[in-house]
């Protein structure tokens, strides 16, 4: 099928013809700030836009303190604060509690506390593995870290055998982020909030629509596309439409 080309001017005309509510856009921004935990930004945006957040902003700070504890490896503090916030969060999420205990084990191994790690795994994780056999592979993967000489930085010690990637990744910062994200989502669910911000989901839908409409998809249209690699721009091979000015000057409200 021959390609069909849509000029930039026509594309922009059609985009501008679509009615978009300013309140809806502001709510998308507020939703993102609240769920991602930007308390100060949410407060400033509330004043700027006149839009009140649907949650107590103090709850955002609680979530961020808990997330920060996981990020620095202090899982015990995170668990304690979650229980102070709402004990039912962990009582009703056995898989989440297992992952938090798994993270505690990882932190003990990272710190070189091998005896304490073995004792902790025996007393806290092994019984859960017996109750839920589907968790055993994850427990075994974590215990495999003990077979390698790991430094406190999470790297193999000099002259020692490096752990395979699927095991070594447990010591990467991304593992802490993953655990923190899972806990953050559970707290949000307990507060009857969305687990994921809507704005990134809409951007994913936009990119998927571009793929369907574009030359590689069934649409076979050539048209300006949103550039998500740098500042927000709508670009073609020869020119680009810069929308980043909407974000300059400190103004966020639409």
> Looking at the structure, do residues 20 and 138 belong to the same domain, yes or no?
no
Q: How confident is the model at residue 57 (pLDDT cuts 50, 70, 90)?
A: confident
> Looking at the structure, do residues 101 and 184 belong to the same domain, yes or no?
yes
> Looking at the structure, do residues 63 and 186 belong to the same domain, yes or no?
yes
91 within some domain? yes
Give φ, ψ of 116 to 5 degrees. Answer: -65, -35
Weakest mean pLDDT among 28-42, 49-63, 94-108, 146-160? 146-160
44 within some domain? no
47 within some domain? no
> Looking at the structure, do residues 154 and 228 belong to the same domain, yes or no?
no
* Chosen domain end from 168, 190, 212: 190
> Looking at the structure, do residues 68 and 173 belong to the same domain, yes or no?
yes
178-184: long-range contacts, CB 8 A cutoff, minimum separation 24: 179/70, 179/75, 179/99, 179/100, 179/102, 179/103, 180/66, 180/67, 180/70, 180/71, 182/96, 182/99, 183/66, 183/67, 183/70, 183/78, 183/82, 183/96, 183/100, 184/37, 184/63, 184/66, 184/67
> Number of folded domains in the chain?
2
* Chosen domain end from 165, 190, 215: 190
Domain coverage including residue 181: 57-190
239 within some domain? yes
Strand partners, 222: 5
Give the CA distances from residue 70 to residues 54, 106, 155, 219, 225, in Å, rounded to whole numbers and listed in that order: 26, 12, 20, 45, 38
70-73: long-range contacts, CB 8 A cutoff, minimum separation 24: 70/103, 70/176, 70/179, 70/180, 70/183, 71/176, 71/177, 71/180, 73/103, 73/107, 73/110, 73/176
Give the CA distances from residue 108 to residues 103, 117, 208, 220, 247, in Å, rounded to whole numbers and listed in that order: 9, 6, 42, 55, 43
pLDDT in tens, 157-198: 544 567 788 898 999 999 999 999 999 999 988 887 776 788
The residue ranking higher by pLDDT, 147 or 250, is 147
Q: How confident is the model at residue 253 (pLDDT cuts 50, 70, 90)?
A: low
49 within some domain? no
For the chain, the first-to-last Cα distance in angstroms comes to 41
* Chosen domain end from 190, 213, 232: 190
**The whole model's pTM is what?**
0.67
Give the CA distances from residue 156 to residues 13, 19, 80, 98, 145, in Å, rounded to whole numbers and listed in that order: 58, 57, 31, 26, 10
**Distance of alpha carbon 231 from alpha carbon 45, whole angstroms:** 21
> Looking at the structure, do residues 11 and 91 belong to the same domain, yes or no?
no
48 within some domain? no
> Looking at the structure, do residues 174 and 235 belong to the same domain, yes or no?
no
Q: Are 66 and 79 in contact (CB under 8 A)?
A: no
Q: What is the pLDDT of residue 225?
A: 79
> Looking at the structure, do residues 142 and 70 belong to the same domain, yes or no?
yes
Structure tokens at 35: 């769920």
> Looking at the structure, do residues 184 and 72 belong to the same domain, yes or no?
yes
> Looking at the structure, do residues 111 and 29 belong to the same domain, yes or no?
no
> Looking at the structure, do residues 77 and 108 belong to the same domain, yes or no?
yes
63 within some domain? yes
**Distance of alpha carbon 97 from alpha carbon 23, whole angstroms:** 38
pLDDT in tens, 86-131: 999 999 999 999 999 999 999 999 998 999 999 999 999 988 888 8
> Looking at the structure, do residues 89 and 153 belong to the same domain, yes or no?
yes
101 within some domain? yes
């Amino acid at each position: 099928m021959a390609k069909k080309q849509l000029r930039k001017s026509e594309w922009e005309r059609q985009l501008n013809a679509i009615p978009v509510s300013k309140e809806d856009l502001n709510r998308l921004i507020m939703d993102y700030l609240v769920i991602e935990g930007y308390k100060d930004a949410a407060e400033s945006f509330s004043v700027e836009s006149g839009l009140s957040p649907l949650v107590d902003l103090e709850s955002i700070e609680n979530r961020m303190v808990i997330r920060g504890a996981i990020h620095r490896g202090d899982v015990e503090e995170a668990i304690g604060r979650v229980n102070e916030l709402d004990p039912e969060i962990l009582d009703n999420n056995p898989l989440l509690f297992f992952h938090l205990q798994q993270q505690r084990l990882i932190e003990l191994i990272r710190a070189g506390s091998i005896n304490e790690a073995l004792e902790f795994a025996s007393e806290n994780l092994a019984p859960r593995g017996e109750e839920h056999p589907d968790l055993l592979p994850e427990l075994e993967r974590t215990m495999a870290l003990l077979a390698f000489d790991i430094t406190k930085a999470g790297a193999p010690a000099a002259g020692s055998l490096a752990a395979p990637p699927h095991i070594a990744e447990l010591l990467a910062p991304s593992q802490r982020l993953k655990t923190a994200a899972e806990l953050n989502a559970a707290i949000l669910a307990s507060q009857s909030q969305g687990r994921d911000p809507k704005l990134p989901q809409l951007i994913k839908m936009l990119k998927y629509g571009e793929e369907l409409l574009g030359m590689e998809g069934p649409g076979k249209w050539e048209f300006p596309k949103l550039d998500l690699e740098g500042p927000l721009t709508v670009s073609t091979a020869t020119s680009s439409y810069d929308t980043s000015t909407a974000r300059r000057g400190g103004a966020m409200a639409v």
